[in-house]
Amino acid sequence: MKGFQTKLDTIGNNIANVNTYGYKKGRTTFQAMMSQTISGAQGPTNFSGGKNPSQVGLGSNVGAVDTIHTQGNRQSTDRPLDLAIEGSGMFVVAEGEDTSTNILESKLSFTRAGNFYLDDNGDVVNSNGQYLVADTFDEDGNSLGEGRINIPDTAQSFSIQSNGTVTYVENGKAVNAAQIRLANFSNPDGLEKAGGNMYTLTDNAGLSVQNEQTGLALTDLEIPGQGGVGQTIAGALEMSNVDLSEEFTEMITAQRGFQANTRIITTSDEILQELVNLKR
pLDDT digits (tens, 9 = 90+) for 95-132: 865 555 567 777 899 999 999 999 999 999 999 999 99
Pairwise CA distance, residues 81 & 196, whole Å: 18
Strand partners, 117: 125
Pairwise CA distance, residues 167 & 139, whole Å: 11
**Exposed/middle/buried for 77, CB within 10 Å: 0-12, 13-18, 19+?**
middle
Residue 177 has pLDDT above 70, yes or no: yes
pLDDT digits (tens, 9 = 90+) for 131-156: 999 999 888 788 888 889 999 998 99
Most confident of 95-104, 195-204, 213-222: 195-204
Domain boundaries, the chain: 2-32+58-69+242-277, 74-238
Per-residue pLDDT band for 210 (boundaries 50, 70, 90) equals: low
Residue 72 has pLDDT above 60, yes or no: yes
pLDDT, residue 17, reads 95
Mean pLDDT, all residues of the chain: 90
Per-residue pLDDT band for 25 (boundaries 50, 70, 90) equals: very high
pLDDT, residue 105, reads 76
